[in-house]
């Protein structure tokens, strides 16, 4: 059974996102190249765990993080599980593999002061790109959507009159997200500027480059990093940190965890609870300031 059949399976039957399917294909392709170069093996269905282990060692020696190595091995393990399911192999060579240890990443969200400075004090460029950049930042911060969801947002997903957008999340799950009033106004300004572009290639998509093409991952990252660097010295200034900031600020203001879960598009509360470590600090302040038993 080919890798192509496996990718079709995870895409059509498992309903995984195109981003996940692409990652699976890239990871399996990397291992195939390693086997060809190292062992002159073209068919990876018959490899042993020791050969996979040597790939893991080579990745670590190349300074690939344990987290990335674990993701690559998870892709490979899923492929062998598929082969086992369809009867192409009897034993999954990764059945007893234990993931490499990873340190828990403590992502520090931006403070309310930093976000206020960004949205009130920074001067965005004049014209189409400036309006687009401001809208991207405000939408990521006020809606908590993922970078991929921002990139894939289409015009048919906008309901500006109703004040909502529809996003397609992981595993192709749709969710409706409310918009703040100011974002709706900014959308209107942006769409007017968008219509004035000389040419539009990817007409279905909301966010475009000045050449009229659908925006891409590195463009979004560059925009976020550029403007956030003007108001913050934090090392990590990525679109995901804005999502993290969105969740943390909602929880700090007393938002219900289940509601935040739905807004973020998480499948379980466990995924949302990683954002609570910051809000606990706020809860401690309220507790100490308010409880009658606290000795001041």
Euclidean distance between CA atoms 48 and 8, whole angstroms: 25
Active site (annotated) includes residue 146:
yes
Catalytic choice (132, 146, 214, 237): 146
Residue 107 has pLDDT above 80, yes or no: no
Residue 34 has pLDDT above 70, yes or no: yes
pTM (predicted TM-score): 0.64
* 286 confidence band (pLDDT: 50, 70, 90): low
* 290 confidence band (pLDDT: 50, 70, 90): low
* 93 confidence band (pLDDT: 50, 70, 90): very high
Domain ranges of the chain: 3-85, 112-287
Active site (annotated) includes residue 32:
no
Residue 170: the pLDDT is 81
Active site (annotated) includes residue 293:
no
Residue 291 has pLDDT above 80, yes or no: no
Q: What is the CATH number of domain 112-287?
A: 1.10.443.10
Euclidean distance between CA atoms 63 and 137, whole angstroms: 32
Residue 122: the pLDDT is 81
Question: Which tens digits make up the pLDDT trace of 125-171?
Answer: 889 999 999 999 999 999 999 999 999 999 999 999 999 999 988 87
Active site (annotated) includes residue 147:
no
3-85 and 112-287 agree in CATH topology: no
Query: In Å, what is the CA distance from 234 to each residue of 29, 145, 208, 270?
Result: 35, 21, 28, 26
Active site (annotated) includes residue 266:
yes
User: Which DSSP helix (H) or strand (E) runs through 131?
Assistant: helix 128-143
CATH 1.10.150 assigned to domain 3-85? The reply is: yes
């Amino acid at each position: 059974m080919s890798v192509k059949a496996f990718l079709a399976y995870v895409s059509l039957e498992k309903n995984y996102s195109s981003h996940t399917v692409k990652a699976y294909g890239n990871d399996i392709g990397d291992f195939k190249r390693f086997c060809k170069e190292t062992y002159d093996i073209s068919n990876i269905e018959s490899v042993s765990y020791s050969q996979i282990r040597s790939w893991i060692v080579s990745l670590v020696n190349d300074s690939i993080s344990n987290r990335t190595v674990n993701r690559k091995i998870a892709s490979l393990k899923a492929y062998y599980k598929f082969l086992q399911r369809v009867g192409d192999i009897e034993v999954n060579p990764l059945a007893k593999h234990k993931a490499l240890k990873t340190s828990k990443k403590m992502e520090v969200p931006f403070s309310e002061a930093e976000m206020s400075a960004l949205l009130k004090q920074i001067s965005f460029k004049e014209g189409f790109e400036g309006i687009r950049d401001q809208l991207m930042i405000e939408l990521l911060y006020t809606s908590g959507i993922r970078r991929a969801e921002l990139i894939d947002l289409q015009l048919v997903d906008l309901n500006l009159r109703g004040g909502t957008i529809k996003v397609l999340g992981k595993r192709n799950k749709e969710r409706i997200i409310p918009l703040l009033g100011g974002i709706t106004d900014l959308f209107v300004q942006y769409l007017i500027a968008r219509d004035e572009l000389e040419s539009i290639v990817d007409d279905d998509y909301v966010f475009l480059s000045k050449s009229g093409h659908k925006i891409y991952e590195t463009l979004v990252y560059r925009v976020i990093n550029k403007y956030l660097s003007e108001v913050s010295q934090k090392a990590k200034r990525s679109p995901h940190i804005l999502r993290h900031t969105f969740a943390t600020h909602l929880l700090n203001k007393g938002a219900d965890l289940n509601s935040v879960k739905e807004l973020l598009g998480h499948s379980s509360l466990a995924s949302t609870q990683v954002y609570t470590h910051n809000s606990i600090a706020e809860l401690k302040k309220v507790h100490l300031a308010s409880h009658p038993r606290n000795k001041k």
